[in-house]
């Protein structure tokens, strides 16, 4: 099947034809699309996708140049020097990783080939994280914060102005903990893993207990300790299960912005604390880590107004997307949201927030298919549990730290400083004359 372009140019080609020209399966073709390596457009009538043949040819040529063979390389097997469709230097291309595989066709993802949703259902966060690093499942494993880095982290987090949120406290905590660890520059695998098994609980235990409590839960599972830092409410087993499942589901999700920042830092051989700090910095934005806070506030508005209609209308009128809906990597429902929302249905206190979330999805998806993503599920948890709006980002950061370190370990095994793309200069041509001071020498 072909389709003419809107401007009457070259005909577009079908999914089957594009896959054949690249020498890949249709599933791999859609993986290229999900990673921004190839553009696609819905075919007339909404059935299937079409592709620009020139763009397909350019991707195939880059694959041949990068691998010495024919056809485009597999999504996770090409080097970081390959550029995506759109022109040389427009992006970093593909980075080899053996951690997470996302299947945009099946709306699923896997950690080292094992379904991530099944892992999160079967095992606790610390068990999944330790297995991801080592390949060995250790039932009941607990991560413990070392005393000196924890003391430094608590002092740094406690020095921030009153009212500072958990993310600001975690960002200074990781820097302080690193400064207190004289072994932080040892990048041997076991040293990095030992550091990380201490860093993750340090991030949690450095936060002040919610409601002014004592926080005497240092031997409890990580999810229980994090709960007491985010809300003063006593947890029920079903709620703790949701939080622990969320941490496990969020361990990794391929090369998200924050994960790429971690790999860039690790490429320069930054120690684990610095690499995690880079991830936390990249997380600080409305399009990544703070998305769950936007969804939290939206759900509160829906509950306060008694329905999603006015709230959705207000977002659209302001030119904003409705928070918590849709994901660029999945055609259907985010598999993380699917599991978390199912578990939240077993939490009596979540009934109101869950109803508001379903109302929002039904209202916003009236004309365009939209599905809940993990940010909406985190928002339901935080609203139902009396947590602050920033709680979802804190849960995300704690869970994702395990994945960040897994990526850092991979990058430590690659050629150092490889994560340096070539700039495409578009400034004034050289040489230019020296700048002259303003008449009179006074500043503007």
Q: CA-to-CA distance for 409 and 256, rounded, in angstroms?
A: 16
Q: Which residue has the tokens 């050289």?
A: 430
Instruction: Give the per-residue pLDDT at 363.
Output: 96
Q: CA-to-CA distance for 143 and 196, rounded, in angstroms?
A: 9
Instruction: Give the per-residue pLDDT at 443.
Output: 62
Instruction: Give the per-residue pLDDT at 251.
Output: 98
Instruction: Give the per-residue pLDDT at 36.
Output: 66
If you average pLDDT over residues 156-184, what whole number do you get? Answer: 97
Instruction: Give the per-residue pLDDT at 444.
Output: 57
Q: Minimum mean pLDDT among 179-183, 209-213, 359-363, 384-388: which range?
A: 209-213
Find out whether 210 and 232 touch, Cβ atoms under 8 Å.
Answer: yes
CA distances to 35, 39, 143, 170, 276 from 153, rounded to whole Å, are 36, 45, 16, 8, 14
Find out whether 174 and 121 touch, Cβ atoms under 8 Å.
Answer: no
Q: CA-to-CA distance for 273 and 81, rounded, in angstroms?
A: 27
If you average pLDDT over residues 109-113, what whole number do you get? Answer: 98
Is the pLDDT at 84 greater than 60? The verdict is no
50 bridge partner residues = 14, 41
Instruction: Give the per-residue pLDDT at 49.
Output: 86
If you average pLDDT over residues 307-322, what whole number do you get? Answer: 95
Q: At what angle do helices 189-205 and 166-179 cross, to 10 degrees?
A: 140
Is the pLDDT at 143 greater than 90? The verdict is yes
Q: Band of the pLDDT at 441, cuts 50, 70, 90? A: low
Instruction: Give the per-residue pLDDT at 35.
Output: 60
Instruction: Give the per-residue pLDDT at 32.
Output: 79
Instruction: Give the per-residue pLDDT at 126.
Output: 98
pLDDT: which is higher, 232 or 33: 232
H or E element, residue 285:
none
Instruction: Give the per-residue pLDDT at 411.
Output: 97
Is the pLDDT at 409 greater than 50? The verdict is yes
Q: Minimum mean pLDDT among 164-168, 211-215, 238-242: which range?
A: 211-215
Instruction: Give the per-residue pLDDT at 213.
Output: 66
Q: Minimum mean pLDDT among 118-122, 430-434, 437-441: which range?
A: 437-441
Highest mean pLDDT out of 1-10, 49-58, 237-246: 237-246
Q: Band of the pLDDT at 75, cuts 50, 70, 90? A: very low
Instruction: Give the per-residue pLDDT at 401.
Output: 98
Mean of per-residue pLDDT scores for the chain: 88
| SS3 at position 109 | strand
Q: Band of the pLDDT at 80, cuts 50, 70, 90? A: very low
Q: Band of the pLDDT at 439, cuts 50, 70, 90? A: confident
Q: Minimum mean pLDDT among 76-90, 202-216, 281-295: which range?
A: 76-90
Instruction: Give the per-residue pLDDT at 288.
Output: 87
Short-list 99, 36, 75, CA closest to 408: 99
If you average pLDDT over residues 381-387, what whole number do you get? Answer: 98
Q: How many CB atoms lie within 10 A of CB 286?
A: 11
Tokens of 200: 């993750």
If you average pLDDT over residues 234-256, what whole number do you get? Answer: 97
If you average pLDDT over residues 57-62, what whole number do you get? Answer: 79
Is the pLDDT at 5 greater than 70? The verdict is no
Is the pLDDT at 198 greater than 70? The verdict is yes
* Cα 17 to the center of its chain, rounded Å: 32
């Amino acid at each position: 099947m072909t389709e003419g372009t809107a401007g009457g140019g070259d005909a577009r080609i079908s999914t089957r034809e594009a896959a054949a020209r690249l020498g890949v399966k249709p599933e791999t073709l859609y993986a290229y699309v999900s990673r921004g390596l190839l553009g696609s457009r819905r075919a007339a009538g909404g059935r299937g996708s079409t592709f620009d043949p020139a763009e397909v040819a350019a991707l195939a040529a880059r694959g041949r140049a990068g691998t010495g063979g024919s056809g485009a390389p597999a999504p996770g097997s090409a080097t970081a020097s390959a550029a995506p469709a759109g022109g040389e230097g427009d992006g970093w291309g593909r980075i080899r990783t053996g951690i997470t595989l996302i299947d945009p066709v099946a709306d699923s993802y896997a950690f080292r080939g094992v379904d991530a949703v099944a892992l999160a259902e079967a095992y606790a966060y610390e068990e999944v994280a330790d297995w991801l690093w080592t390949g060995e499942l250790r039932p009941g494993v607990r991560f413990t914060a070392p005393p000196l880095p924890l003391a430094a982290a608590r002092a740094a987090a406690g020095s921030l102005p009153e009212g500072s949120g958990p993310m600001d406290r975690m960002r200074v905590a990781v820097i302080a903990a690193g400064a207190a660890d004289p072994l932080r520059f040892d990048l041997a695998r076991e040293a990095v893993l030992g550091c990380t098994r201490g860093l993750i609980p340090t991030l949690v235990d450095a936060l002040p207990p919610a409601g002014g409590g004592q926080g005497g839960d240092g031997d409890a599972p990580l999810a229980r300790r994090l709960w007491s830092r985010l809300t003063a409410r006593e947890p029920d087993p079903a709620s703790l299960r949701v939080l622990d499942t969320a941490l496990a589901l969020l361990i990794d999700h391929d090369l998200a912005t924050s994960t790429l920042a971690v790999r860039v830092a690790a490429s320069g051989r930054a120690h684990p604390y610095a690499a995690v700090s880079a991830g936390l910095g990249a997380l600080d934005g409305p399009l990544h880590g703070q998305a769950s806070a936007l969804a939290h506030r939206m759900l509160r508005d829906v509950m306060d107004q008694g329905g999603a209609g006015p709230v959705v209308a207000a977002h659209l009128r302001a030119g904003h997307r409705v928070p918590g809906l849709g994901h660029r990597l999945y055609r259907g429902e985010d598999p993380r949201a699917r599991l978390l929302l199912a578990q939240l249905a077993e939490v009596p206190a979540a009934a109101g927030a869950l109803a508001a979330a379903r109302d929002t999805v039904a209202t916003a998806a009236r004309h365009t298919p939209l599905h809940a993503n993990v940010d909406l599920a985190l928002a339901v948890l935080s609203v139902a549990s009396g947590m602050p709006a920033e709680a979802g980002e804190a849960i995300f950061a704690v869970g994702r730290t395990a994945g960040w370190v897994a990526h850092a370990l991979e990058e430590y095994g690659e050629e150092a400083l490889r994560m340096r793309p070539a700039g495409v200069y578009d400034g004034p041509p050289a040489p230019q004359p020296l700048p002259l001071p303003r008449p009179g020498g006074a500043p503007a």
